[in-house]
Amino acid sequence: MHVRKNDQVMVIKGSDAGKQGKVLRVDGQKVWVEKLRLVKKHAKPSETNRQGGITDMEAPISISNVLPICPKEDKPRRVRNKMKGEEKIRVCAKCGEEIRAQS
Protein backbone atom coordinates (compact mmCIF):
# COMPACT_ATOMS: atom_id res chain seq x y z
CA MET A 1 0.00 0.00 0.00
CA HIS A 2 1.26 3.47 -0.80
CA VAL A 3 -0.96 5.00 1.90
CA ARG A 4 -1.11 3.98 5.56
CA LYS A 5 -2.93 5.12 8.69
CA ASN A 6 -1.68 8.48 10.08
CA ASP A 7 -0.09 9.51 6.74
CA GLN A 8 -0.49 13.10 5.65
CA VAL A 9 -2.12 12.94 2.19
CA MET A 10 -3.45 15.22 -0.53
CA VAL A 11 -6.54 14.45 -2.61
CA ILE A 12 -5.64 14.66 -6.30
CA LYS A 13 -9.03 13.90 -7.91
CA GLY A 14 -12.67 14.57 -7.14
CA SER A 15 -14.58 17.33 -5.40
CA ASP A 16 -11.98 17.65 -2.62
CA ALA A 17 -9.00 17.90 -5.02
CA GLY A 18 -6.13 19.93 -3.58
CA LYS A 19 -7.13 19.46 0.06
CA GLN A 20 -4.87 17.82 2.64
CA GLY A 21 -5.59 15.72 5.68
CA LYS A 22 -4.53 12.86 7.92
CA VAL A 23 -5.58 9.29 7.09
CA LEU A 24 -7.87 7.91 9.79
CA ARG A 25 -8.42 4.45 8.36
CA VAL A 26 -7.47 2.31 5.36
CA ASP A 27 -9.73 -0.54 4.30
CA GLY A 28 -8.90 -2.33 1.04
CA GLN A 29 -9.15 0.24 -1.75
CA LYS A 30 -10.79 2.97 0.40
CA VAL A 31 -9.34 5.56 2.79
CA TRP A 32 -11.00 7.84 5.33
CA VAL A 33 -9.33 11.26 5.57
CA GLU A 34 -9.85 13.55 8.55
CA LYS A 35 -12.36 16.38 7.88
CA LEU A 36 -12.63 15.58 4.16
CA ARG A 37 -15.64 14.23 2.25
CA LEU A 38 -18.03 14.94 5.12
CA VAL A 39 -21.55 13.51 4.92
CA LYS A 40 -24.56 13.94 7.18
CA LYS A 41 -25.51 10.98 9.37
CA HIS A 42 -28.95 10.81 10.97
CA ALA A 43 -28.75 9.10 14.37
CA LYS A 44 -31.56 7.92 16.61
CA PRO A 45 -31.27 8.57 20.35
CA SER A 46 -29.47 5.73 22.17
CA GLU A 47 -27.57 5.01 25.38
CA THR A 48 -24.35 6.55 24.05
CA ASN A 49 -25.99 9.35 22.08
CA ARG A 50 -28.89 10.53 24.26
CA GLN A 51 -30.03 13.38 22.04
CA GLY A 52 -29.61 11.83 18.58
CA GLY A 53 -29.82 14.19 15.61
CA ILE A 54 -27.71 14.92 12.55
CA THR A 55 -23.91 14.60 12.75
CA ASP A 56 -21.08 15.03 10.26
CA MET A 57 -18.85 12.05 9.53
CA GLU A 58 -16.14 11.21 7.02
CA ALA A 59 -16.99 9.11 3.97
CA PRO A 60 -14.45 6.91 2.15
CA ILE A 61 -12.31 8.12 -0.75
CA SER A 62 -10.80 5.78 -3.32
CA ILE A 63 -7.14 5.08 -2.52
CA SER A 64 -6.20 5.91 -6.12
CA ASN A 65 -7.36 9.51 -5.59
CA VAL A 66 -4.88 10.34 -2.80
CA LEU A 67 -1.07 10.68 -2.66
CA PRO A 68 1.14 10.89 0.43
CA ILE A 69 2.95 14.18 1.00
CA CYS A 70 6.75 14.08 0.86
CA PRO A 71 8.13 15.44 4.17
CA LYS A 72 11.12 17.07 2.44
CA GLU A 73 9.28 18.84 -0.39
CA ASP A 74 5.78 19.29 1.13
CA LYS A 75 4.24 18.12 -2.15
CA PRO A 76 2.21 15.03 -3.04
CA ARG A 77 4.52 12.40 -4.53
CA ARG A 78 4.37 8.81 -5.72
CA VAL A 79 5.95 6.21 -3.46
CA ARG A 80 8.51 3.50 -4.12
CA ASN A 81 9.37 0.57 -1.86
CA LYS A 82 13.00 0.10 -0.88
CA MET A 83 14.76 -2.50 1.26
CA LYS A 84 16.64 -1.17 4.29
CA GLY A 85 18.35 -4.24 5.71
CA GLU A 86 15.55 -6.76 6.30
CA GLU A 87 12.87 -4.06 6.44
CA LYS A 88 10.85 -2.70 3.51
CA ILE A 89 10.37 1.08 3.69
CA ARG A 90 8.50 3.64 1.59
CA VAL A 91 10.47 6.42 -0.09
CA CYS A 92 9.53 9.43 -2.22
CA ALA A 93 9.91 8.54 -5.91
CA LYS A 94 11.40 11.93 -6.74
CA CYS A 95 13.83 12.81 -3.91
CA GLY A 96 14.29 9.45 -2.14
CA GLU A 97 13.25 10.78 1.29
CA GLU A 98 11.74 8.16 3.64
CA ILE A 99 7.99 8.53 4.19
CA ARG A 100 6.81 7.63 7.69
CA ALA A 101 3.34 7.69 9.20
CA GLN A 102 3.12 10.48 11.77
CA SER A 103 1.68 9.83 15.22
CATH number for the domain spanning 65: value is 2.30.30.30
Q: Which of the 8 DSSP states describes residue 37?
A: S
Evaluate whether residue 21 is within a structural domain.
yes
Alpha carbon separation from 5 to 11, 47, 52, 85, 88 (Å, rounded): 15, 30, 29, 23, 17
- pLDDT for 103 equals 66
Is pLDDT at 100 greater than 90 in this prediction? Answer: no
CA 79/CA 19 separation, integer angstroms = 19
Evaluate whether residue 56 is within a structural domain.
yes
CA 18/CA 40 separation, integer angstroms = 22
Evaluate whether residue 103 is within a structural domain.
no
pLDDT tens string 35-64: 999 999 999 999 998 999 999 999 999 999
Structural domain count, the chain: 1
- In 10 A of CB 57, how many CB atoms? 11
Evaluate whether residue 32 is within a structural domain.
yes
CA 72/CA 75 separation, integer angstroms = 8
Q: For the whole model, what pTM was predicted?
A: 0.85
User: Whole domain around residue 37: which residue ranges?
Assistant: 8-92
